[in-house]
Amino acid sequence: MMFFSFAVRNLRRHWIRSALSIIGIVIGVIAIASLGIMGNSINLLVANIITDVGDTVVITPHTAIGGTFAGDPRTAVDAAIPAREVEEIRRAANPHRTIPVLQGADEVEFGRGESGYTQIIGLASDDIPILLELAEGQYPRQNQPGALVGTYLAAEYDIAPGSKITIGNESIRVAGVLAERGFAADINPDYAIVVPDDWYESHFGANDAYPMVIVRVGDVEQIDAVKDAIENRINRREDIVDVFDSRDMLRQYEEIYQQITAFLVGIGGISLIVAAVNILNVMYISVTERIREIGVMRSLGALRREVLRMFLYEATILGLIGSIIGGIASAVSGYLISLAAVEVFTAGTTFGENFTVFDQSAVGFIAFGMAFGIATSIAAGFYPAWIASQLAPVDAMRQK
Amino acid sequence: MPVISFEHVSKVYPLPAGDVVALDAVDIAIEAGEFILVMGPSGSGKSTLLNIMGSLDVPTSGEVTIAGNRISGMDDDDLTLLRRDHIGFVFQQFNLIPLLSVVENVEYPLILKARQNGSRERAEEVLEAVGIAETHFSHKPGELSGGQQQRVAIARALANDPDFLLCDEPTGNLDSKTGTAIMDLLDRMNREEGKTVVMVTHDPRMTDYADRTIRLVDGRVA
């Protein structure tokens, strides 16, 4: 305890120097923890935005880079799966439901002189309720064509069931407004218009090919078996389609956001290393100033390891105080930064509503930041402490 | 059995310009209760002799026995414990620890030895014995005069009841009156408490206090 008391007294003797070292650690811990929390929050948010369609297999025409996920800009090629291949897929996936998807774009007039190019998705009328949920209105029926408008598009142009919109030069009644779906592995109708496939083909012309086919598996356990069956049937001789499911997409997004989080934590780590260099400097100055005192302690019977411990106590105390303050501050700042990040990433959407940015990982980042703060402080203090412990008493006492 | 024994002890410092022989085949035996002065011109080897007696340094050759312990082959921990348990140091610069109060400075070697607190009574007893008033116990060393600081240093040296005191010019930084008072204190400790005192000095007046004087010239006992 005596050497601990020495350490405390020495830190108090040079309290400004000690306070500055502590501030360095506080900043480092805050940087690590709050940036980690922010990265984690973005990760959580993205996972929340990506609609869980874990029971869906998506088939797209084979591209040079192979299967990634729908919406990957590298797969934006004008290719389609011929109708006879769709039938092969249907047979391979049987008894699971196969849903061919038509996708195009046209200029749409929303009324009141507002218009713009919009994505148009064509689906078989009986497939629509299986894939999409309604917010209001009703699904189009076989003999009563109607369009379903994505929730954001409807909100932006103030469209309600019963409104009329004009796609190209063809007028169509709005049957319903779709519920928010988020970013999914298959189709993303929040800013699109969904129409029955017969209307789509009469409008755009039929070419018996589909840019995407969705297989609704129902049971997640069977996804791999369905994927294999499709691959074996269609891609036996050459790769005609790419087959993937939303888990692949989530995996890729998770990888990307984990890398972002690691990068952010790395930046925080650098600031903590700067703080550690400051501690090393402070401790080194302390050892240099106290060489004579160390010599006296050693001549009176203090062992090398006791001198080492005394200086390590100093570094530990600095790291501990800095990490505790930093941990508390980063809980607050991490929460605020995360809220801001959610705000920025979900501006104009309802995704961020009721979204919790703090989870176990956030607490983990705080704990990690604090542990890293203490560990780097001790590591930084070790070299000066070791130098102090190795001083020969005679040489140390000779110093002025 | 002598409390300090040097048998054919040499100390050589290897330097780029050539070896420097600080002690050259020194034979010394100091019995318990003696008051010994070590005198000699600068560079004669006094400090080296004192350092080896204090187990702060080891000889290049020869055999040194301190309080019955042969120091050849001892590692740093053994030498440190030997200093702690058997030797009291009094330095010219007092070398009190500025972080600690007067009584804590005296308590310091007691805690080092006992590995626990609770030695305050012994520290106060020794401080009173060297003439430090209780009102000064809680002061920091810098708040005391030079003479008082040296008294505290002597109290610290005596705290663990060592076999002998090694004093390196203990009056060198004091005025003559204070120096005399410190010498009287050491003399009293020697005569009344039976403490062995080995003292390095340049001052020939100190020979009055000593039982005998070891004179060093060029690292040899003259």
Rounded to whole angstroms, the Cα distance separating B218 from B222 reads 9
- CA-nearest residue of chain B to A295? B95
Question: Given CB atoms, is B120 within the 8 Å cutoff of chain A?
Answer: no
Cβ-Cβ contacts under 8 Å, B91 against chain A: 296, 397
Contact A394 B117 (CB under 8 A): no
User: For all residues of chain A together, what is the average pLDDT?
Assistant: 83
- CA-nearest residue of chain B to A12? B99
Mutate to test the interface with B, among A3, A13, A300 (most CBs of B within 10 A): A300
- CA-nearest residue of chain A to B95? A296
A346 pLDDT higher than 70: no
A138-154 confidence digits (pLDDT tens)? 998 777 778 999 998 88
Residue A21: Cβ-neighbour burial (10 angstroms; 0-12, 13-18, 19+): buried
Q: Helix or strand or coil: residue A147?
A: strand
- pLDDT > 90: what percent of chain B? 68
Chain A, residues 12-71, CB within 8 A of chain B, namely 13
Question: Given CB atoms, is B89 within the 8 Å cutoff of chain A?
Answer: yes
Cβ-Cβ contacts under 8 Å, B89 against chain A: 299-300
Pairing mode of beta strands B220-221, B212-217: antiparallel
Contact B98 A293 (CB under 8 A): yes
For residues A108 and A156, the answer to whether their CB atoms sit within 8 Å is: no
Identify which of A9, A301, A392 has the shortest CB distance to residue B83: A301
Question: Given CB atoms, is A394 within the 8 Å cutoff of chain B?
Answer: yes
* Confidence at A356, pLDDT banded by 50, 70, 90: low
Identify which of B54, B81, B99 has the shortest CB distance to residue A10: B99
Write down the pTM of the prediction. Answer: 0.69
A283 pLDDT higher than 80: yes
Question: Given CB atoms, is A218 within the 8 Å cutoff of chain B?
Answer: no
Cβ-Cβ contacts under 8 Å, A301 against chain B: 80-81, 83-85, 109, 112-113
Mean pLDDT of A175-204: 86
B45 pLDDT higher than 80: yes
State the count of interchain CB pairs (< 8 A) between A and B.
Answer: 56
- The type of residue at B197 is V
Distance from CA of B194 to the nearest CA of A (A): 21
Of residues B26 and A388, the one with the higher pLDDT is B26
Question: Given CB atoms, is B91 within the 8 Å cutoff of chain A?
Answer: yes
Note the pLDDT of residue A227.
87
Contact A301 B57 (CB under 8 A): no
- The type of residue at A175 is A
Mean pLDDT of B157-171: 91
Question: Given CB atoms, is B95 within the 8 Å cutoff of chain A?
Answer: yes
Cβ-Cβ contacts under 8 Å, A1 against chain B: 117
Contact B95 A394 (CB under 8 A): no
Contact A302 B112 (CB under 8 A): yes
A41 pLDDT higher than 70: yes
B213 pLDDT higher than 60: yes
* DSSP character string of B13-39: E--TT--EEEEEEEEEEE-TT-EEEEE
A63 pLDDT higher than 80: no
Rounded to whole angstroms, the Cα distance separating B13 from A95 reads 94
Of residues A183 and B200, the one with the higher pLDDT is B200
Question: Given CB atoms, is B97 within the 8 Å cutoff of chain A?
Answer: yes
A50 pLDDT higher than 70: no
Distance from CA of A12 to the nearest CA of B (A): 10
- CA-nearest residue of chain A to B48? A394
Of residues A236 and B25, the one with the higher pLDDT is B25
Distance from CA of B59 to the nearest CA of A (A): 14
State both tokens at B182: 């410190």
Would you give the distance in Å from CA B123 to the centre of its chain? 18
* DSSP character string of B78-128: HHHHHHHHHEEEE-TT----TTS-HHHHHHHHHHHHHSSS--HHHHHHHHH
Mean pLDDT of B147-160: 92
Note the pLDDT of residue B150.
92
A345 pLDDT higher than 70: no
Q: Which DSSP symbol is given to A353?
A: T
Cβ-Cβ contacts under 8 Å, A302 against chain B: 80, 112
Note the pLDDT of residue A68.
54
Rounded to whole angstroms, the Cα distance separating A198 from A253 reads 35
A306 pLDDT higher than 70: yes
Contact B56 A303 (CB under 8 A): no
State both tokens at A217: 């598996």
Question: Given CB atoms, is A149 within the 8 Å cutoff of chain B?
Answer: no
Note the pLDDT of residue A194.
93
